[in-house]
Amino acid sequence: MTPYEILAQAVGLVAMAFNILSYQQKSPKRVILYQLFGSSLFAVNFFLLGAIAGGITNLIAAGRAVVFANHQRFRAKHPAWLWLFIGLYVLSYPLTFTVFGKDFTLLTAVIELLPVIAMVATTVSFRMEDAAIIRRFGLVSSPCWLVYNITNLAISAIICEVLSLCSIVIGMLRHDRGHKQS
């Protein structure tokens, strides 16, 4: 492994720590803030690894986390934010094949769609005011990222998603058992 690859993996490991710890937070704002740091660092990680689509979607995710963590200031409950971020994620999909030159095959079409699905699920969850619901949406997002990361050999991101899935389940057991929605 080159020093550059070691740096990329080290950044990914720090990103991983923030994402995993996010699911142990009790308040929605803290979940989102931890994910802000994780997304920002994973954007750097993916760019360093040459995984441009992963980098772009994580940059959008960092902007999204800023908005939803400061939901009152930015009026994040307004549906325009939801549709703006969903639109940006959807737009990132064709840009992967056009601007960034990823070969379009049936397999890559499916694989490159996974981060979009993951980020849309997470974006919808950020509008929720219940950390339990955010954790449930994590059960959509993490498996999508796991498959994407495996196909792109993003080692720290693979480990992150496996541990995130474990953390989500632990968070559900710790905080959500017997949880009633209103």
Q: How many CB atoms lie within 10 A of CB 26?
A: 11
Task: Supply the range of the domain harboring residue 160.
Answer: 3-176
Q: In whole angstroms, what separates CA 57 from the centre of its chain?
A: 8
Dihedral-angle region of residue 110 (phi above 0 means left; psi in -120 to 50 means alpha; beta otherwise):
alpha
pLDDT at 179: 59
148 lies in some domain: yes
pLDDT at 28: 83
9 lies in some domain: yes
181 lies in some domain: no
Q: What SS3 class is residue 99?
A: coil
From first to last of its 182 residues, the chain has per-residue pLDDT tens of 889 889 998 999 999 999 888 878 888 889 889 989 999 999 999 888 878 889 999 999 999 889 988 888 999 889 999 999 999 999 999 998 999 888 899 999 999 999 999 999 988 887 788 888 888 999 999 999 999 999 988 998 999 889 889 989 999 999 988 755 54
Task: Answer for the pair 141, 165: CB distance below 8 angstroms, yes or no.
Answer: no
User: For the chain, what is the largest distance between any 2 Cα atoms, rounded to a whole number of angstroms?
Assistant: 53
- Helix pair angle (28-49, 52-69), 10° resolution: 160
Place of tokens 């990329």: 8
Residues 6 or more apart from 115 whose CB is under 8 A from it? Answer: 53, 54, 57, 89, 92, 144, 145, 148
135 lies in some domain: yes
Place of tokens 């996010």: 22
Fill in the DSSP letter of residue 176: I
77 lies in some domain: yes
Q: In whole angstroms, what separates CA 17 from the centre of its chain?
A: 13
**Could you tell me where the DSSP H helices lie in the chain?**
3-22, 28-49, 52-69, 71-74, 79-97, 106-126, 131-151, 155-171
155 lies in some domain: yes
How far is Cα 72 from Cα 45, in angstroms, rounded to an integer? 31
pLDDT at 119: 93
182 lies in some domain: no
pLDDT at 181: 53
What's the number of domains the chain is made of? 1
How far is Cα 9 from Cα 15, in angstroms, rounded to an integer? 10
